[in-house]
Structure 1
Amino acid sequence: MYTPHAFAESDLAQLDRLVDADPFVTLVTTAADGLPFASHLPVLYRRDADRVLVEGHWARPNPQAAEGQALLIVHGPHAYVSPGWYPDKEPAARVPTWNYAAAHLYGALECYEDDAALGDLVLRLSERFEARAGSDWSFDPTEPRFAAQLRGITGFRFRPSRVELKFKLHQNHPQANREAVATELAAAGGDDARAVAALMHGRLPGRPAP
């Protein structure tokens, strides 16, 4: 990922926040024909210091369901920025841009088809996302009808060896521009715009970190 120095982040707590906000990721591998192959998947995420673990599963017929090197993309909030919002728009000849946060994780996939491990994974996934949905459905891996469905998936563990974090939030602009853009985005409506505004406000002098 192209990441100018001004937009690079190294604090893995920022990765924690991105995945917590949006745990639906893009997993990219290289297919047998040499072309990229992508799957879009909900995942579970855990971090211990600088060690990250991402877990999920594919449908077993998915050709990506194999061990190998992968790129996992975490999608953060993003929003359009109008040049009309800048105080210095005329003298600096400002143009439109897009502010966003994203993470690229590189590493090896470890696959498994063990029923007990798959049952535990699906149980934890259902607990995680049912809670977010405000519901109480639960997966019982000992229930024969549910257990039989585990034969239709392949689980994976992904431990990245490299993490790239990019937060493009006008760090290379004068503070007056940053404040103006953050204010406009906060008022624009929409979850993404407000989330980008919050990230920008948290990086302004005198403001608490996000």
Structure 2
Amino acid sequence: MYPPSAFVETDLVALDALLADDNFITLVTVRDGLPTVSHLPVLYRREGEAIELVGHFARPNPQARHAGPAIAVVHGPHAYVSPSWYPDKETEARVPTWNYAVAHLHGKLHTFDDEPSLSALVGELSDRHEAIVGGDWRFQPERDDQRVQLRGIIGFRVRVEQANLKFKLNQNHPPANRAAVADRLDALGGDRGRAIARLMRERMARPIAGD
């Protein structure tokens, strides 16, 4: 990932927030020189700088037989930014851009298929997402017809060794431009635009280094 210094985020609390909002990641591995990509929900765990992602593959997925280096891409909000929104658009000949937040988590992929671990994983994942949608389905490992379905999946863990976060939020622009963009994104509405506006304002409110 190309990381201009103005857009580098180092606070892992920002990563916590990204995965709290959206835990559906893109997982990339390479075998025999060819990349394999899967899109998967995960459980996110962090203690200090120790980060782990846990999820599962469908058993037929070729990536379920991979191990070793992996990259998990965490997708945050994003929004188009029109140059017409900048107060200095004419004097600085501004051009369109895209604001976004993203994280690339580099680590080692490990798989598992023991029934107790898979049962706990499916139960925790489903409990989280049922709560979000107001559902009441739960995995019941005591039921043979549900437990047998664990044979169709393989679990994985990614123990993260390096976390790269990029929050591209007009930090290379003067404050007036940043404020104007945040205001326009809020006015346009939409969850993604409002989320970007919130992230922009959070960073504008941070103390300047050396103050």
TM-score range, shorter chain: over 0.9
Distance 1:206 1:23, change over 3 A: closer
Q: Kindly tell me: are residues 206 and 17 of structure 1, through their superposed partners in 2, closer, same or farther at Cα, counting changes over 3 Å?
A: closer
Q: TM-score, normalised by structure 2?
A: 0.95
- Distance change >3 Å, CA 206–CA 120, structure 1 → 2: closer
Specify the alignment match of 2:148 in structure 1. 148
Q: How does 1:117-196 map to 2 (within 5 A)?
A: 117-196=117-196
**Residue in 2 aligned with 1:2?**
2
CA distance in 2, matches of 1:195, 1:205: 16
Query: Which residue number corresponds to residue 50 of structure 2?
Result: 51
Per-residue deviation, residues 55-89 of structure 1 (Å, max 9, x unmatched) = 00000110001222100000000000000000000
Q: Tell me how large the CA RMSD over aligned residues is.
A: 1.1
Gapped runs of 5+ residues in structure 1?
Answer: none
Instruction: Report how many residues are paired.
Output: 206
Matches within 5 A, 1:12-51: 12-32=12-32, 34-51=33-50
Most deviating of 89-98 and 62-71 = 62-71
Q: Say yes or no: does 1:82 pair with 2:45.
A: no
**Residues in 2 aligned to 1:121 and 1:203: alpha-carbon distance in whole angstroms:** 35
Q: Per-residue displacement from partner, 1:17-64 (whole Å, max 9, x unpaired)?
A: 0001011110001133x2211100011101101111110000011000
Moved over 6 A (4+): none
String of CA shifts for 1:126-156, please: whole Å, max 9, x gaps: 1111111111110011211111100000000
Question: For residues 41 and 206 of structure 2, what CA distance do their matches in structure 1 show?
Answer: 36
| TM-score of the superposed pair, with normalisation by structure 1 | 0.96
Structure 2 unaligned blocks of 5 or more: none
- How far residue 206 of structure 1 moved from its aligned partner, in angstroms, is 7.2
Paired residues of 1:31 and 1:64 also in contact (CA < 8 A): no
Is the 1:54–1:158 contact (alpha carbons within 8 Å) kept by the matching residues of 2? Answer: yes
Paired with 2:186 and 2:31, the residues of 1 have a C-alpha distance of 42
Contact 1:113–1:153, Cα closer than 8 Å, also in 2 = yes
Q: Is 1:198 paired with 2:198?
A: yes
CA change 1:206–1:37 in 2 (3 A) is: closer
What is the rounded CA distance, in whole Å, between the counterparts of 1:87 and 1:3 in structure 2? Answer: 26
In structure 2, C-alpha distance between the alignment counterparts of 1:204 and 1:110, rounded to whole Å: 40
Which secondary structure state, in structure 1, belongs to the residue aligned with residue 90 of structure 2?
coil
User: How far apart, in 2, do the equivalents of 1:120 and 1:141 lie?
Assistant: 9
The amino acid across from 2:192 in the alignment is D
C-alpha offsets along residues 65-119 of structure 1, whole Å, 9 cap, x if unaligned? 1222100000000000000000000010000000000000000011001011101
